[in-house]
């Protein structure tokens, strides 16, 4: 998977994405991250990439040409790829959209700053918008990094066995089960006995039951959408009796 990111802050993107499991995947070449700074494509010696908005009003707008040339350079570098503009007015990122992106070999992520980008750039070069939620942040970079992290985790070989197991719960449409580590007792609180029983089947059953119970308590909408088989329903019924809910 290759991500090309159009951003005024390439160092920010490379630094954040260079950590942890995704950073290791980039180092191993399983994920490719290339950044393109519109300022490098500016026509004037000041590196101008923005200007005042027509019609007046506060702030600045990103100019078409530097962005367009950065996008075209990204396309020329590694072939055609969808251009996705990170913006609150796009459809909201969810598991299906993450899966669809992970099926692509390449994607170009366009990060806006200032008050936004000239609409004509969107008309000329943007294939889709994508939101990570109904709020505005300072730029498209953090949303782009959320998208890249979530998508990269689905690329084969990026997650080790442990992490991919941890991700299974949500991939199953459920919230995560609780996690514990040493010491066995801390501040008078013990680890649930099943987790130290050595009975792997019982542990797996307990984890599924916890995920089902927590999903019902915290995100009943997910459970509604997912449905339950007979065994899961029985586990959830037992959880509700145990938790009195």
| Residue 10 lies near ligand 9WO (rule: CB under 6 A) | no
Residue among 10, 38, 66, 143 that touches ligand 9WO (CB under 6 A): 143
68 catalytic? Reply is no
Give the H/E segment covering residue 206.
Answer: helix 200-218
> Whole-angstrom Cα distance, residue 5 to residue 16?
13
Residue among 69, 88, 164, 217 that touches ligand 9WO (CB under 6 A): 88
Residue among 13, 22, 49, 86 that touches ligand 9WO (CB under 6 A): 86
Query: Cα 79 to chain center, whole Å?
Result: 24
Residue among 136, 162, 189, 241 that touches ligand 9WO (CB under 6 A): 136
Beta bridge partners of 109: 5, 84
Beta bridge partners of 35: 5
88 catalytic? Reply is yes
231 catalytic? Reply is no
| Residue 167 lies near ligand 9WO (rule: CB under 6 A) | no
Smallest gap from Cβ 122 to ligand 9WO, in A, equals: 9
216 catalytic? Reply is no
Is residue 6 within 8 A of residue 73, CB to CB? The reply is no
> Whole-angstrom Cα distance, residue 205 to residue 169?
13
Is residue 33 within 8 A of residue 5, CB to CB? The reply is yes
Strands of the 83-86 sheet, one edge to the other: 32-36, 2-6, 106-110, 83-86, 128-130
Could you say which of 27, 51, 168, 231 is catalytic? 168
| Residue 137 lies near ligand 9WO (rule: CB under 6 A) | yes
- Residues that bind ligand 9WO (rule: CB under 6 A) add up to a total of 15
Which residues contribute to the site for ligand 9WO (CB under 6 A)?
86-89, 112-113, 116, 131-133, 136-137, 139-140, 143
Catalytically active residues, by annotation: 88, 115, 153, 168
């Amino acid at each position: 998977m290759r991500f090309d990111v159009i951003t005024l802050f390439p160092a920010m993107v490379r630094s954040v994405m260079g950590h942890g499991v995704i950073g290791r995947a980039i180092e191993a070449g399983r994920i490719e991250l290339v950044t393109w700074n519109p300022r490098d494509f500016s026509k004037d010696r000041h590196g101008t990439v923005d200007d005042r908005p027509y019609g007046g009003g506060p702030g600045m707008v990103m100019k078409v040409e530097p962005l367009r040339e950065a996008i075209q350079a990204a396309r020329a570098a590694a072939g055609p790829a969808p251009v996705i503009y990170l913006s609150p007015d796009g459809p909201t990122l969810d598991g299906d959209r993450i899966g669809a992106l992970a099926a692509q070999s390449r994607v170009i992520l366009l990060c806006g700053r200032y008050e936004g980008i000239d609409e004509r750039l969107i008309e000329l070069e943007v294939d889709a918008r994508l939101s990570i939620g109904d709020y505005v942040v300072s730029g498209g970079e953090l949303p782009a990094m959320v998208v890249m992290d979530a998508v990269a985790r689905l690329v084969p070989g990026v997650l080790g066995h442990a992490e991919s197991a941890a991700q299974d719960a949500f991939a199953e449409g459920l919230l995560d089960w609780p996690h514990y580590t040493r010491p066995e007792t801390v501040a008078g609180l013990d680890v649930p006995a099943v987790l130290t029983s050595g009975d792997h089947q019982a542990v797996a059953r307990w984890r599924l039951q916890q995920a089902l119970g927590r999903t019902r308590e915290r995100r009943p909408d997910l459970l509604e959408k997912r449905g339950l088989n007979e065994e899961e329903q029985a586990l959830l019924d037992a959880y509700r009796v145990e938790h009195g809910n």
